[in-house]
Structure 1
Amino acid sequence: MSPKEQSFLSRVRAILPELHPAERRLGDFVCDFPGEVASYSAQELAALAHVSKATVSRFIQRLGYENYEEARRHARAERQSGSRLFLAAASDSDDGQSVSAHVTQSIQNLENTFISVGESQANSIAEAILGARKVWVIGFRASSAFAVYLQWQLTQVIEEVVAIPGAGQTLGEHLVSMSKDDVVIVFGLRRRVTQIDPLIEQINKQKSRLLYITDESVAFQKSAEWHLRCQTLAPGPLFNHVSVMALCHLIISRCIETAGAKGRSRLRSIEALNDVLDEL
């Protein structure tokens, strides 16, 4: 692979063994905090890494860029992929982030997420889930945990709900069974796997009703009947998923409320069986 085909970080890692001490210090710094290249000027980066501006210039040339601005554009584009490394800042490693900063950001994320989720939208999602022949929940990587959680909670109120794919299974083994009477819930949180787009395309071909839950970086998916975007900003290198969990809670609670007496009857039966089997 030629340098121009490599990612920004791949270029840096490739030249590290060849660098002189000052450049190596800069290279190690950039590997730890690549987002600083996207955010700061060459002079500011030099100050952060404790090297000269001339060292930064030589380093950028070694990477194969014509100038620092070209490197910045490449780093900015790579930051959009959602890599946690690009979310870290050098200042974070010195003092860390306060508890209040995390709480404040979580509250802001919740407010910014739910401002676009109306009562009618929440109701229509619940009604669709309760009326579906089957509900399929899909998630990969970070999204997998939320998919499994939502599926587990939905079993309290509906029978036909499954999280896919299971261990050793392929998506095709499940997609073939989807129909227009089904609801498919897809979690597409950063960093998304490459098969998300073709997966959504196939779900649309099956004519299933699609609920797409993503972070704020995803453009509105017109083919989805519902697209809910969660704010995931955080102080530090990790995404804040408080709003995702809150959204799951809203969906589950609204389903139980909408199910009414039938839903409460299923909950009572589940608790009775738990007592009989002495499972809890």
Structure 2
Amino acid sequence: MATGGSFLARVRAAVPVLRPAERRLGELVTDFPGELASYSASELAALAGVSNATVTRFVRRLGYQSYEEARRHAREERTTGSRFYIAAAAPAAEAVSSYTERDSRNLELSLGGIETEEIDRLAARLLSARKVWVIGFRASTAFAVYLQWQLTQVMENIVAIPGAGQTMGEHLVSLRPEDVVIFFAMRRRIARTEALLEQIRAAGAALVYVTDEGIAPLDTAQWHFRCETASPGPLFSHVAVMGLCNLIANRTIVQADRDGRERLRGIERLNDALDEL
């Protein structure tokens, strides 16, 4: 009998020693734990093609007193944002229109309430910063690198961290109150997110925090943008995150004005001279 650990860890530990019917149920739950979080015992039994008694034996082997206890644990774990809890064992055939409609809705919910003045204040702060640090891990790495690349067109002192083989300490030691940190922390966030936020706060740098809608507003952030990530499919939608990056980059280039245009002209001259594009 497995006890302790996460719900999925319990299931994975138990599957190799389960009886055939229980193993079939265990393999289903391993691949689609959201089914147990959402379905009744009878519904799950029907989906797996086993009896209700098999479901009862299965959850007891996991160390739970009842199916409801197991389901509560699975529901708690679902809030971590694992895509395993989104996938369905019998997914519906979603039309392309359902994706476009959901993405449009995500953009509206995420950006619709943002005032141009707020973005322009952010752009001005970025342009006046001693240095801008853009942080992202896992899926958020792509957003950090993309925004850093776009802003480099009008900003010299901007870097995406951490780089390959680098530690965060090597960068955080240089944080100053005159700096700005743009921290992308889309789910699933890394375990040391809170520790990194505390270090940024302690350094006195301005924080631009970009998260999914599941994260509560952060009082210590000067800007906290919460992006909707709902999707008809098993993966999160990041259309709103890219929309936010586009908004920030464009307004910052506009705010850069003459100095920004001069840098852009210099970049183009060098691209022509080096025949890179």
Segment drifting more, 112-121 vs 229-238: 112-121
Q: What amino acid maps onto 1:160 in structure 2? A: N
Determine if contact 2:136/2:183 at 8 Å carries over to the other structure.
yes
Q: Residue 136 of structure 1 corresponds to which residue in structure 2?
A: 133
Aligned to 2:27: 28
Q: CA deviation at 1:98?
A: 2.2
In the alignment, is the contact (CA less than 8 A) between 2:131 and 2:157 conserved in 1? yes
Structure 2: gaps spanning 5 or more residues: none
1:42 aligns to 2:41 (yes or no): yes
1:245 pairs with 242, 247, 251, which one? Answer: 242
The alignment partner of 1:44 has SS state of: helix
Q: How far apart, CA to CA, are the structure 2 residues paired with 1:98 and 1:24?
A: 34
Task: Choose the corresponding residue for 1:199, options 196, 210, 216.
Answer: 196
The answer to whether structure 1 residue 183 and structure 2 residue 175 are counterparts is no
The answer on 1:125 being equivalent to 2:122 is yes
Residue by residue, what CA displacement relative to the aligned partner does 1:110-141 show, whole Å, maximum 9, x if unpaired? 11111232222211111110111110000100
Deviations 1:155-211 (A, max 9, x none): 001110001111222111111111111110000011111111111111111100000
Partner SS, residue 241 of structure 2: helix
- In structure 2, C-alpha distance between the alignment counterparts of 1:45 and 1:168, rounded to whole Å: 45
Q: Distance in 1 between the 2:240 and 2:10 partners?
A: 35
Q: Map Cα deviations across residues 130-154 of structure 1 (whole Å, 9 max, x no partner).
A: 1111100001000111111111111
1:246-265 to 2 correspondence within 5 Å? Answer: 246-265=243-262
Secondary structure of the corresponding residue to residue 249 of structure 2: helix
**Structure 1 SS opposite 2:226:** strand
Matched, 1:15 2:25: no
CA distance in 2, matches of 1:253, 1:243: 15
Q: TM-score, normalised by structure 1?
A: 0.96
Q: Name the residue aligned to 1:104.
A: 101
RMSD: 1.3
| Residues 212, 226 of structure 1: 8 Å contact kept | yes
Letter in 2 for 1:37: L
1:165 paired to 2:194: no
Where do 5+ consecutive residues of structure 1 fail to align? none
Contact 1:12–1:27 under 8 Å retained in 2? yes
Q: State how far apart, in whole Å, the 1-side matches of 2:47 and 2:229 are.
A: 27
Runs of 4+ residues over 4 Å off in structure 1? none
User: What is the distance in 1 between the residues matched to 2:131 and 2:6?
Assistant: 41
The reply on whether 1:215 has 2:212 as its aligned counterpart is: yes
Q: 1: distance between equivalents of 2:213 and 2:3?
A: 29
Q: Distance in 1 between matches of 2:26 and 2:93?
A: 23
Are the equivalent residues in 2 in contact too, given 1:35–1:75 (CA < 8 A)? yes
CA contact (8 A) 2:2 2:14 kept: no
More displaced 10-residue stretch of structure 1: 227-236 or 261-270: 261-270
* SS of match in other structure, 2:57: helix
Pick closer, same or farther for the CA change 1:3–1:121 going to 2, 3 Å. Answer: farther
Q: Which residue identity is paired with 1:245? A: M
Shift of 1:97: 2.7
Residue 83 of structure 1 corresponds to which residue in structure 2?
82
Matching residue's letter, 2:269 = A
Q: Deviations over 1:16-53 (max 9, x none)?
A: 12222211111111111100111111111112112111
Distance 2:267 2:66 in 1: 65
